[in-house]
């Protein structure tokens, strides 16, 4: 089923891109192991089938900086603009989300864009087959002084105009990265979770102002020390 889903997105791409993407997906699938009934491991990503929870191992890369991303692969192109990094590959994150029954779709990314503003991408947004199946809640969990802390990912981010976390930053969109003649784009860029609209990333923010690359900065007071191990937890959005 997962391979069929991927093949549908490959129909209009080159043979080279199809081969690369299928190879990447096959390699990721080989890493999938059931560690206990209904719980799976994919290169360190934990997937719980019953709750659709996906847990991704990360670490804090930067506490204080202007950002365009919340999470990138550790060797990605945008690590100088991200709060968190991970050794997990973007194709593995995408596969984990598919296994947890999330459906990649761009609906919701630009729902708050002013009609007078230029769209960051020209393609028409598409709804997922199941309403809301691309909407995610994301939290961060880590140990601090032997206590477990858990906060929304949005607590790590602020609007540079207001110096506050936007109230609509709690819902994220699983859009799925683009596949073109070069292959699965997120594997090339390393972009996984973007605050500034990036169709090459696996997940995007749906907050108002996400089209501005100068709007988002980290919230240092809420972010643990650099190199702190953090688990990023994805669950279905409640709204």
pTM: 0.89
Contact criterion met (CB below 8 Å) for 50 and 100: no
Task: Report pLDDT for 6.
Answer: 45
Contact criterion met (CB below 8 Å) for 197 and 172: no
CB atoms within 10 A of CB 59: 16
The dihedral of CA 148, 150, 156, 162: what is its sign? negative
Task: Report pLDDT for 31.
Answer: 80
Q: How far is CA 184 from CA 49, 108, 234, in A?
A: 25, 22, 22
With a pLDDT cut of 70, the percent of the chain lying above it is: 89
- For residue 192, give every residue at least 6 positions away whose Cβ sits within 8 Å of its Cβ, in sequence order, or none: 69, 71, 72, 73, 76, 86, 90, 93, 186, 201, 202, 203
pLDDT band at 18 (very low <50, low <70, confident <90, very high): low
Rounded Cα distance, 27 and 183, in Å: 15
152-166 pLDDT tens trace: 999 999 999 999 999
Rounded Cα distance, 28 and 60, in Å: 24
Residue 154 half-sphere exposure, CB side, CA atoms within 13 Å? 19
pLDDT band at 1 (very low <50, low <70, confident <90, very high): very low
Rounded Cα distance, 101 and 2, in Å: 10
Model confidence at 135: pLDDT above 90? yes
Contact criterion met (CB below 8 Å) for 76 and 190: yes
Rounded Cα distance, 207 and 19, in Å: 35
Model confidence at 55: pLDDT above 50? yes
Model confidence at 10: pLDDT above 60? no
Task: Report pLDDT for 181.
Answer: 82
pLDDT band at 12 (very low <50, low <70, confident <90, very high): very low
CB atoms within 10 A of CB 228: 16
Q: Whole-number mean pLDDT of the chain?
A: 90
Helices in 142-231 by DSSP H: which ranges? 185-189
Task: Report pLDDT for 174.
Answer: 98
- Burial (CB < 10 A; 0-12, 13-18, 19+), residue 132, is middle
Rounded Cα distance, 16 and 30, in Å: 21
């Amino acid at each position: 089923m997962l391979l069929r889903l991927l093949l549908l997105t490959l129909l209009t791409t080159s043979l080279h891109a199809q081969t690369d993407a299928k190879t990447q997906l096959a390699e990721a699938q080989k890493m999938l192991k059931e560690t206990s009934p209904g719980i799976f491991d994919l290169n360190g990503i934990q997937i719980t089938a019953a709750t659709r929870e996906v847990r991704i191992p990360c670490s804090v890369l930067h506490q204080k900086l202007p950002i365009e991303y919340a999470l990138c692969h550790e060797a990605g192109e945008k690590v100088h603009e991200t709060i968190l990094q991970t050794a997990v590959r973007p194709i593995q994150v995408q596969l984990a989300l598919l296994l947890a029954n999330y459906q990649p779709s761009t609906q919701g990314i630009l729902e708050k864009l002013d009609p007078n503003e230029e769209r960051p991408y020209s393609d028409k947004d598409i709804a997922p087959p199941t309403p809301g199946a691309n909407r995610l809640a994301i939290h961060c969990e880590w140990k601090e002084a032997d206590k477990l802390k858990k906060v929304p990912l949005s607590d790590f981010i602020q609007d540079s105009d207001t110096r506050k976390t936007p109230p609509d930053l709690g819902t994220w969109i699983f859009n799925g990265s683009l596949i073109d003649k070069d292959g699965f784009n997120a594997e090339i860029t390393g972009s996984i979770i973007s605050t500034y609209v990036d169709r090459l990333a696996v997940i995007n923010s749906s907050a108002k102002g996400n089209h501005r690359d100068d709007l988002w900065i980290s919230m240092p007071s809420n972010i643990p020390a650099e190199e702190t191990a953090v688990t990023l937890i994805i669950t279905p959005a409640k709204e």
